[in-house]
Amino acid sequence: MLKHLTIFSLLALMSSCASTDKPEDKLSGSVDSLLSLMTLEEKIGQLSLYTSDWDVTGPTMREGYKEDIRKGRVGAIFNAFTAKYTRELQQLAVEQTRLKIPLLFGYDVVHGHRTIFPIPLGQAASWDMEAIERADRIAAEEASAEGIHWTFAPMVDIARDPRWGRMAEGSGEDTYLGSQIAAARVRGFQGKGYGDVGAVLACVKHFAAYGAPQAGREYHSVDMSERMFRDVYLPPYAAAVKAGSATVMSSFNDYDGVPATASEYLLNEVLRKELKFDGFVVSDYTSVMELIPHGVAADTASAAALALTAGLDMDMQAGFYQDALPRLVKEGKIKESLIDQSVRRILRKKFELGLFKDPYRFSDTQREQSTVMKPEFLEAARDMSRKSIVLLKNEGGDKAILPLSKNVKQLAVIGPLANARRDMIGSWSAAGDWKKSVTLLEGIKAAVSPATKVSYAKGCSITGDSTQYLAEAIRLARQADVVVLAVGEGGLMTGEAASRTSLDLPGIQQRLVEEIQKTGKPVVVVLMNGRPLTITWINDHAPAILETWYLGTQAGHAIADVLFGDYNPSGKLPVTFPRVVGQVPIYYSMKNTGRPLEVNNKYTSKYIDEVNTPLYPFGYGLSYTTFSYEAPVLSSNTMTSRDTLDVSVKITNSGSKEGVEVVQLYVKDEVGSVTRPVMELKGFQKVSLKPGESKEIHFRLCNSDLSFYRKDMTFGSEPGKFRVFAGGNSRDVKQAEFELK
């Protein structure tokens, strides 16, 4: 009888088995009713996630996977998109299988789908939660219109080693900022709820501590104390789970000697019991298989058993669950009830997405055509890109080179990234069409007056040591009134599997910069990169520097908006820039030592060949105007753990242009039962001020802002003295003091 049921009549049958009319109970009843009809093979199929492929002619599916779908041995597919293609694959599941259970389609929608926004590290530089949430709302609308139900984002890993290429995919070094962004991104992807056809399931990754690989090397071991994990790395995951993330992805790394994919402590004790996560957990790509080279599993069966027992619900690509679980159940080594538990979690999300009611509701070609890359989406991308740009240097005061005049007679645009269309959208750029991105050269040409002559020279390649383009670049620079010099890393030089031992400009780009500087012409250096670079020479010699990351589809227009003053930059660094790679790891919230720096005392914590301080501190970023701060004023000089302390900060636009400043609040615990950071971010606000205008910004500090994992590993505050710092970055601050009674 079952093979003749439609998906709708099957739903009705399952719903009739529900024990109560309460929505939550009815859903559980539907899930349990369906589960009771499933064979062991069909159950294991729901735990299996396989990839689609793309050829030059379009999407393809390996024939073996298609047959697996028809047999009910696949629960989800990733890397399949477009309404037409996902509908074709869905038809295999709901029209040719026994139980007609719909597929779940996942994809790496990391910083936009078709309309590409700045890389996540760039978006973090905006410190604008509303804009970040809006970017992922648009990404979800586009992705869902192309048949995608589920994104493998956001990545919320704290990262403090810029050698690690995947820093580009996260929010930088700070726990507080990272937690705020994690929640905003989940809200953006999931919208009003993931039953909404314009929303997708979020997948918080990578759980846990993936952003701290030893030596900054991708996929490497992580070794940290439990205190460090809980104080610094865990909170962004917790924030994302609290915001309602539907799914979580386990990480490649080991934690405390156990790979995360097989860590019952991480997946069950911390994630499910402590954080109250009730969605399902998917492995990272083949990470179940990788338990074997990790050295904790001897074969396919032991790897599958370890992962499932630890709480890993879905196996991405390895196929180990499909291969090993039937035999493990038959031999009594795995209880079928454990498989049922994972199947329930996955089926619940499919029900909540509305896929049993209409399996094709996300595969609508008309919605796809009317949604993708709408003009308002492109404008939002341009706005997000402008907000992500950080002005690192603009010397000269009132005579500063920036903003440039649109009427400059001769403008030379030079550098390997000046007209590099593919690189504008960076890594993990999903279904973004790099051919539709706007280059810096194009953005400049569109912005200047008709009387301006814009010339272009590549100068050199991004990598390699060829000097064949150098002479032409020098010649054009000498003829120009102003030079805009675009240098940095290639768009695919950051992201997964893109660790570097050097943070210098690759290839001969440094030589190009020096040769152009020798011409004596005013030079604006435009950086494009997915991590901090060591640009001390450029900082010492170039009069103006813009950090632009990889800004996405509208990159060229956004950079031009800032270059010519149509937009006053307000971005702030979400990560510290070192002077040399030997300072790494370097971050603003480090701890003091027993021998803190004394310049004239050799036997204190310092280098003999470099200063301790970074080139640019966390939170740093200039504007075309200036801001002055007064010392923070506290509502009281004492508080108890039950009190809230008001901190007011008066800020004035002391320059000649309207501008936006990110006012930052930091706290330092002077004495603790364990060592404490020199300062920690506890709040920030963006404020717009006209020239001469002043505003009083208010923050509230409560006991949770002063709490940490104490010596006995309980979480809470400790009485004592605290300092409060306020300013435009973590270095240039004014302070006040209070005591916690």
Q: At the top level of CATH, which class does the domain 388-583 belong to?
A: alpha beta
Of 157, 201, 160, 206, nearest in space to 178 by CA: 157
Chain position carrying tokens 């997000």: 384
Q: Is-same-fold flag (388-583; 627-740)?
A: no
Q: What is the structure's pLDDT at 246? A: 98
Any residues with CB less than 8 A from the CB of 144 and at least 6 apart, and which?
A: 197, 198, 199, 200, 362
Of 565, 595, 217, nearest in space to 401 by CA: 565
Any residues with CB less than 8 A from the CB of 644 and at least 6 apart, and which?
A: 700, 701, 702
Give CA–CA dist 548/526, Å, rounded. 7
Can you list the residues of the chain whose pLDDT is less than 50?
1-8, 11-20
Q: DSSP secondary structure string, 376-444?
A: HHHHHHHHHHHHH-EEEEE-SGGG-SPSPPTT-SEEEEESTTTT-TGGGG-SS-TT--GGGPPPHHHHH
Beta bridge mates, 663: 685
3-state secondary structure of 78: strand
User: Cβ distance 212 to 166 under 8 Å?
Assistant: no
Give CA–CA dist 19/657, Å, rounded. 66
The fraction of the chain above a pLDDT of 70, given in percent, is 96
Give CA–CA dist 121/125, Å, rounded. 7
Give CA–CA dist 597/607, Å, rounded. 10
Beta bridge mates, 250: 207
3-state secondary structure of 337: helix
Residue 126 has phi, psi (to 5 degrees) of: -75, -25
Q: What is the structure's pLDDT at 2? A: 43
* Sheet architecture: strand order including 76-78: 150-151, 104-107, 76-78, 48-51, 315-316
**Taking the C-alpha atoms of 263, 268, 271 and 275 in order, what is their torsion angle to the nearest 10 degrees?**
-150
User: Cβ distance 282 to 50 under 8 Å?
Assistant: no
- Gyration radius of the chain over CA positions: 27
Q: What is the structure's pLDDT at 20? A: 40
Q: Report CA-CA distances (Å) from 587 to 171, 583, 661.
A: 14, 10, 22
Of 337, 359, 354, 355, nearest in space to 32 by CA: 337
Q: Determine whether 147 is exposed, middle or buried from the number of CB atoms within 10 Å of its CB (0-12, 13-18, 19+).
A: buried
Element (H, E) at 669: strand 659-669
| CA triple 149-151-153, angle to 5 deg | 160
- The first and second tokens of residue 703, run together, are 């006991």
Of 31, 75, 20, 93, nearest in space to 341 by CA: 31
Give CA–CA dist 419/422, Å, rounded. 9
User: Cβ distance 118 to 384 under 8 Å?
Assistant: yes
Phi and psi based region of residue 326 (left: phi greater than 0; alpha: psi -120 to 50; beta: remaining): alpha
Give CA–CA dist 413/425, Å, rounded. 20
User: Cβ distance 553 to 132 under 8 Å?
Assistant: no
Residue 533 has phi, psi (to 5 degrees) of: -115, 155
Q: Determine whether 468 is exposed, middle or buried from the number of CB atoms within 10 Å of its CB (0-12, 13-18, 19+).
A: exposed
- The first and second tokens of residue 81, run together, are 């998109």
Give CA–CA dist 594/573, Å, rounded. 29
User: Cβ distance 280 to 313 under 8 Å?
Assistant: yes
Element (H, E) at 702: none
Q: DSSP secondary structure string, 16-28?
A: HT-S-SSHHHHHH
User: Cβ distance 68 to 61 under 8 Å?
Assistant: no
Residue 271 has phi, psi (to 5 degrees) of: -70, -55
What is the separation of C-alpha 402 from the centre of its chain, rounded to a whole number of angstroms?
A: 30
Q: Does domain 627-740 have CATH number 2.60.40.10?
A: yes
Q: What is the structure's pLDDT at 23? A: 62
What is the separation of C-alpha 406 from the centre of its chain, rounded to a whole number of angstroms?
A: 35
DSSP state of 675: -
The catalytic position among 284, 313, 383, 705 is 284
Q: What is the structure's pLDDT at 57? A: 62
Of 308, 244, 316, nearest in space to 279 by CA: 244
- Number of helical (H) and strand (E) elements in the chain, helices listed first: 22, 29
How many CB atoms are closer than 10 A to CB 214? 12
Q: Report CA-CA distances (Å) from 131 to 117, 237, 275, 326, 381.
A: 11, 21, 27, 47, 9
DSSP state of 432: -
- Which amino acid is present at 671? V
Task: For the chain, give every domain's residue range.
Answer: 1-107+336-364, 252-334, 388-583, 627-740
User: Cβ distance 557 to 382 under 8 Å?
Assistant: yes
Chain position carrying tokens 């009317």: 370
Give CA–CA dist 677/487, Å, rounded. 35
Q: What is the structure's pLDDT at 19? A: 37
* 284 flagged as catalytic: yes
